[in-house]
Structure 1
Amino acid sequence: MRRQSTRTFVILLSAWLALGWAAAAHAGLSVGADSLVVPGVSMTGMQADFDPQADGQGIQMRLVAKKADIPAMGWRKLGVALEGTLDRDELGRWIFDGRARLRGAPGGAMANATVRIVADEAANTLAVTIAQDKALAEVALPMDQVSHAQITLKNLPAGWLQGLLSTVWSGRPTGGKVDADLALDLLDAGVQAAGQFALDGVGFDTPGGKMAGQKVSGSGRLGLDTSPEGATIDLDAALRGGEWLLGPLYVDLPAHPVQLSLSARTQKGALGIRRLRVTDPDALQLEGELAFDAKGDMAQMRFDRFNARFPAAYERYGKGLMRSWGIDGLKATGEVAGHAAIGANGPSAFAFQTSGLDLAMADGRLGVNGLRGSLDWSADEDRPATKLGWRSLQVYRIPNGAAEGNWRSKGGALTLEKPLAIPVLDGDLRVLSLAWKPAAASGERLQTSLALTQVDMGAFARAVGWPAFGGKLGGAVPSLRYVDDRLELGGGLSLNVFDGFVDITGMVLSRPFGDAPVLAGNIALRKLDLAQMTSVFDFGNITGRLNGSIDDLRLVAWKPSAFKASLVADQGGRISQKAVNNLTTVGGGGMAGGLQGTVMKLFKTFGYRRIGLTCTLKGDVCTMGGLGAAKDGYTIVEGSGLPHLTVVGHQREVDWPTLVRRLQAATKGDGPTIQ
């Protein structure tokens, strides 16, 4: 049959029914057609059989189509079977009561449904009622324009809408029920629909898994306009409960309604939300745009205005985005407002202001209390100066006091306009300069220079869980850069401790905000007072000066994995019996040179000429050494005077955890734990 107007189709169908009625009233009728094509619908392999009822009331009708396509609804290659009773009432209306069975419909739609069709030519109306289990669909349409319909849906499984949704995007419903009152127009190349809807526990997902939802409920108004080029969606809804995943955005909706308004466009798998408004009264208000590419990755996020109240804003909306930035677990209280723009390659602008905000990493590594003020940054234009300060700051368990900085965005960098002094452990950390490039996806992201003055070593030791010891910590970091995902120490950091110096050079901290940061560098020890050191760590008293190095140091998750350590005291001094015993234990050795235990008891201290110990750690094994080779081992202590003392280490290779336990035992567990 050639393509015809909808009106012609209805007239032919009415004539066909009338002919079937007249013929079947006597002997029955069987009619077949190879194909039927009307706007929006095509069927092939059609067969209709009409037989009179035994009681003479109406006729039994069976209609079968091997294949039916409704492209605008996303229904293709369906098998159709319609069977029931056809009759005319006293008003001359055609009435069909029976069952419909569709084979291959999305979500099992109308797999075994009851159907009632009322065709009233005088009133120019066609009404269809379909029920299956608890689902009900009612369709009313004019007979001279069957492409236009008023549709009412109740308890409809969301999966039944898969065909229609497939014309808009690549996702699919995974559960839940839908109620709706819609006006729908089937066009030659798409669908237009508008009306009200309600969702109950609806879920969805996409092939790549980057967009998904579950147990979403709510109600609102929907507008839909599809075409071969894409689809436009307008939505105003109040949603409650359920979870959403939209690329890096994870949303955990509360039980109370959240107002959502948007206008979106889908095209070739990509989704662009051109107008977005979210109102969650106790957590988040925002206006802006979102865009996702065909793979479900976020291509753009722009918030023209946002106001976030914590902790609710983070718990409901911020977890996924923070995790995509390497921050997993954030404790936050307070409020912040502003705007932000982030593209596929990173941020392009942001500004925020707060009168009080507390933030902390869940593991306690970083935290700030009483954050107040504002920042204003843009990658493309210079911005006015702002002030941002805090009541207290914590960095890796080190507490810092209140400070306020003056900031300005210029040339794509957010810079500190003048030096900033931060109180830390009774001393000061002076930030002499700082420049941060938020838009830098690689290369140098941050550059700063720092100076430490008069930091109390006792307070520092308490902060990191070490036994208290005196002294002041001071030094300078002429250049500290954040390049790619690592912190690089330019030049060196020189610290004055134990009346000597500790010089740190070549330090690089990779993945500083990850779960397993990697620290590499070299440490040089110069003229440390052994009497001060050993008194602090309860190792036993040793006098003299210590020099040495820890080269090629590598810590993974703050635990040593490799280094080459060499410690030497070569200017002579005194060593106590306890220190001798502890050095012997650490080296897995014993006394040499004929010194007997009875003689040891006669002396509390001994003179020494040199003390030396080396350890090269690789994996979990430390290769030990000392001043030089000795019989069956290596010399750790070379005595001086009488009694002449020599301590020899016999174990060349020691399991690192075993060595750590020996060191802990040597200090009676009161010293710093090596982790």
Structure 2
Amino acid sequence: MNLRSSRNLCVCWALLAISLMGARAACAATTVRADSIALPGVTLKQVDGTLQPGADGQLQLQLKIASADVAALGWKHVGIDLQGALVRSSEDAWYCRGTLTLKGAPGGLMRKQGQFDLILDVGANTLQLDLGQDQNPAVSLALPLDQTSHVQARFIHMPLAWLQGPLSRAWAGRLTGGQLDGTLAMDFLPDGLQGAASLRLTKANFDGGSLAGQSVGLHGRLKIDVNATRSQVGLSGTLHGGDLLLGPVYANLPTHPTQLAFDLTAQGGSMRVDHLSYIDPDTLSLAGGFIFGADGSLHSMTMSRFGAHFPSAYEHYGKTWLATLGLNNLKTDGDLSGAVVLGANGLHTLRLRANGLDARDGGGRFRIEGLNGALDWNRNGTRPATTLAWNGLSMYRIPLGAGRSQWRSRDGVLRLQAPFYVPVFAGQFGVQRFEWQPDARKGNRVDMATTVTGVDMSKLSQALGWPRFHGTLAGSMPGLNYVDGTMRLQGGLSLNVFDGFVDVTDLSLKHPFGDTPELAADVRMQKLNLGAMTDVFDFGKITGDLHGDIDNLRLVDWSPVGFDAHLLADSGGRISQRAVNNLTSVGGGGIAGGLQGAVLKLFKSFRYDRIGLNCKLQGSVCTMSGLEPQGGGYLIVDGEGLPHLTVIGHQHRVSWPTLVARLRAAIDSGGPVVN
């Protein structure tokens, strides 16, 4: 790009005006036509100009250019229509006033007919051009005739979009609204330009992908240094309100002034931001820099210092960004500070210090109360040991008590220095080992070993909104790995409930804090007391022992989407009339056997030999089966003795929502009888 082309355009206009001086005494019209006029950085095609005396004695100028290409202004095939009156105000001064319309200029520059004033004063060594719209001045350009490399400009409520063209070669974004006031001084050099400006932007709207803003106000000083290989811009000033997007960070800027300063260098398609400083009093402060690639992607970030005061920092700067991570509607308080260095190959430095930090997820997935202390991690070497303590934690409405932990970073791994334990529902949750490698792209970022002992299942089930039942939860997980957003637990959990055991193995959890967490596990049940179990769920009384498997269990947002369940009670027992009716309803079956329904309804309960029910859920359909095929159906209850009871299921494929509705109706019913 020839950055002297805007100067050349001004010179072109000056030469045109000077040439017209010689026509001041002409009595006939003078016409100039050219197929093409070329200057460095400027190409004009189909130029048609006419100069003729007017009725008032003034010279009337008409100039039409079908296509103007000006690299520095970002013009391509811009049409120009200029009409005006040329007046000689003194021996060495000419004045031209008229209208100007541009067709196809970037940003809608002079798309509607505007006004121009051109003053050529040889005695004062000055060429001045004023442009305006709707009788209001917008921009004034002045340059000395003996030093056309120096230009001074003044902007008065100029539409910001008029700068779309000059910016288009260095920025792929669009200016869509706002206005500009201020002054600019520019010197054109053999291989570039240098300048300084004092500018005020009002309600600026722009959209550049990773950099966008709406109704942004800015008042500051600008320095520009551009050559053929790189462009440098320095800004120091204040922001006033509006919304700003920078990469993943969205800011709702406050109406009070916030301080902003940075140095920007564009070279070889990439863009570098150095010496960045931003201060929003009592809310956010940061210092650092960024490097963006030619495609606008973030290559590296050095945040040498940041400090955030909540909740205002969350509301103004963190809300939208955290929502992209699945953290919505947080309630926050306290302070967080530190430093972050992110390179092209991952995280290099992470230092965090919390002071009375509280954070609660709006969906009830987690809560942190009174977090104090620090973490200090670096990819290389050894960092000083730190302590992190809290007054309370909760995960999915499970409250954990106060705790204290010690950490140290060595060779890129942040390690827990000693086990810690926190109380939970009359039991304990302990972390024996925790190793975190933040910069790991593949493999295990987190390696963790935990234990759970003596947790009261009655309190746990109440907290989770389950039917309240008694028992304890215990287990050990010798390893927890976190890879690509998925936590996988080695080992398992064992629940001592209903006088038996439920073992959970192969447990994994994707997107644990996202909008749609996905859980997978295998479940084994041994010797569950059906009497205690059916009392809790109010299904109808069944005695005996239950065992079974739930293989390939998958929950999305805690709702089942797949499993293969096999439930079996084969040690005999008794089943109530209500439980018989509910099992019949679930299987879509009926009563069969040696007694008529009229006799069967005389009994409140029946002896059984076996009960079996299987359900394989795929998508939204559950494939049902039982103990064994029976005619066109399947056997659910195999009775024993007299009266002999047999329950047959006839529906092999049942809609999962329908099956859930039947179970809920069975539990909520007042106890139907067999007819």
Q: Same fold (TM over 0.5)?
A: yes
Secondary structure of the residue aligned to 2:519 is strand
1:287-331 Cα shifts (integer Å, max 9, x gaps): 011122122221122211111122222232224433454545433
Secondary structure of the residue aligned to 2:661 is helix
Structure-2 separation of matches of 1:616 and 1:561? 10
Structure-2 separation of matches of 1:561 and 1:15? 82
CA contact (8 A) 1:72 1:187 kept: no
Compared CA separation, residues 618 and 325, structure 1 to 2 (3 A): closer
How far the C-alpha of 1:526 sits from its partner, in A, is 0.9
CA contact (8 A) 1:453 1:475 kept: yes
Structure-2 separation of matches of 1:10 and 1:494? 87
Q: Which residue of 1 aligns with 2:20?
A: 17
Q: What amino acid maps onto 1:384 in structure 2?
A: P
Q: Which moved more, 1:151-160 or 1:306-315?
A: 306-315
Q: Which residue of 1 aligns with 2:673?
A: none
Q: Which residue of 1 aligns with 2:171?
A: 169
CA contact (8 A) 2:130 2:137 kept: no
Compared CA separation, residues 41 and 581, structure 1 to 2 (3 A): closer
CA contact (8 A) 1:6 1:145 kept: no
Q: Which moved more, 1:496-505 or 1:310-319?
A: 310-319
Secondary structure of the residue aligned to 1:418 is coil
Structure-2 separation of matches of 1:448 and 1:283? 35
Consecutive unaligned residues of structure 2, counting only runs of 5 or more, are 671-675
Q: Which residue of 1 aligns with 2:127?
A: 126
Q: What amino acid maps onto 2:283 in structure 1?
A: A
Q: Which residue of 2 aligns with 1:660?
A: 660
Structure-2 separation of matches of 1:239 and 1:540? 68
Q: Which residue of 1 aligns with 2:448?
A: 448
- Scaled by the length of structure 2, the TM-score of the pair is 0.91
Q: What amino acid maps onto 1:19 in structure 2?
A: G
Q: Which residue of 2 aligns with 1:635?
A: 635
CA contact (8 A) 2:278 2:287 kept: yes
Structure-1 separation of matches of 2:18 and 2:264? 45
Q: What amino acid maps onto 1:71 in structure 2?
A: A
1:527-547 Cα shifts (integer Å, max 9, x gaps): 112222122112222222211
Secondary structure of the residue aligned to 1:49 is strand
Structure 1 vs Structure 2 CA RMSD = 2.8
Q: Which residue of 1 aligns with 2:271?
A: 271
Compared CA separation, residues 320 and 267, structure 1 to 2 (3 A): farther
Q: What amino acid maps onto 1:167 in structure 2?
A: R
How far the C-alpha of 1:575 sits from its partner, in A, is 2.6
How far the C-alpha of 1:39 sits from its partner, in A, is 6.2
Q: What amino acid maps onto 1:100 in structure 2?
A: L
Matched, 1:300 2:295: no
How far the C-alpha of 1:586 sits from its partner, in A, is 2.2
CA contact (8 A) 1:467 1:536 kept: yes
Compared CA separation, residues 602 and 66, structure 1 to 2 (3 A): closer
1:473-511 Cα shifts (integer Å, max 9, x gaps): 112222222122212122332222222111122222233
Secondary structure of the residue aligned to 2:380 is coil
Q: Which residue of 2 aligns with 1:282?
A: 282
What is the percent sequence identity of the aligned residues? 47
CA contact (8 A) 1:167 1:226 kept: no
Q: Which residue of 2 aligns with 1:143?
A: 145
Q: What amino acid maps onto 1:485 in structure 2?
A: G
Consecutive unaligned residues of structure 1, counting only runs of 5 or more, are 671-675
1:169-203 Cα shifts (integer Å, max 9, x gaps): 22221111111211022344433331111112221
CA contact (8 A) 2:475 2:492 kept: no
Secondary structure of the residue aligned to 2:24 is helix
Secondary structure of the residue aligned to 2:668 is coil
Structure-2 separation of matches of 1:467 and 1:482? 32
Structure-2 separation of matches of 1:254 and 1:544? 67
How far the C-alpha of 1:633 sits from its partner, in A, is 2.8
Q: Which moved more, 1:607-616 or 1:449-458?
A: 607-616
Secondary structure of the residue aligned to 2:549 is strand
Q: What amino acid maps onto 1:107 in structure 2?
A: G
CA contact (8 A) 1:405 1:416 kept: yes
**Alignment of structure 1 residues 313-462 onto 2, 5 Å:** 313-462=313-462
CA contact (8 A) 2:214 2:243 kept: yes
Secondary structure of the residue aligned to 2:370 is strand
Matched, 1:589 2:586: no
Matched, 1:259 2:256: no
1:115-162 Cα shifts (integer Å, max 9, x gaps): 222222222122222221245211221111123111111111112111
Q: Which residue of 2 aligns with 1:157?
A: 159
CA contact (8 A) 1:72 1:191 kept: no
**Alignment of structure 1 residues 553-592 onto 2, 5 Å:** 553-592=553-592
Compared CA separation, residues 633 and 537, structure 1 to 2 (3 A): same
Structure-1 separation of matches of 2:47 and 2:582? 97
**Alignment of structure 1 residues 600-611 onto 2, 5 Å:** 600-611=600-611
Compared CA separation, residues 201 and 9, structure 1 to 2 (3 A): closer
CA contact (8 A) 1:60 1:84 kept: yes
Structure-1 separation of matches of 2:16 and 2:625? 101
1:622-664 Cα shifts (integer Å, max 9, x gaps): 2222222334533222233333333333333322222212221
How many pairs does the alignment contain? Answer: 663
How far the C-alpha of 1:264 sits from its partner, in A, is 0.6
How far the C-alpha of 1:9 sits from its partner, in A, is 8.0
